[in-house]
Amino acid sequence: MAPLEDLLFSNQSLSALPLDPIKDRESRPVKGAWFSKLEPQLDPLENPFLVSFSSDALNLLDLDMAQVSWGGEHHGGENGQVLTLLDLG
């Protein structure tokens, strides 16, 4: 299993399809473009916990569940109760 950080991004669509040339972040029509590049400002969650996962999707990326959860902990909720982790297939 490859670590999550070792996924090899190719991003072919982004380089092959029309990009929005306008950097303006105001509301506006976007013409003739597929993508508008983002420079996201990340806002990490406090106390995230895994609710469900897809084993099919993870297998496709050669990942396992331990790599998208937090140290195998599946506790969360308002009182730290144990949540049932769902595999959506």
- Catalog residues that contact other proteins under the rule CB under 8 A: 4-5, 7-14, 17-19, 25-54, 56-58, 60-61, 68, 76-78, 80, 83, 86, 88-89
Nearest-approach distance from CB 1 to other proteins, in angstroms: 14
Sign of CA dihedral 68, 70, 74, 79: negative
Residue 86: its H or E element = strand 86-87
Least Å from the CB of residue 88 to other proteins: 5
Q: Are 78 and 47 in contact (CB under 8 A)?
A: no
The nearest distance, CB 83 to other proteins, in angstroms, is 7
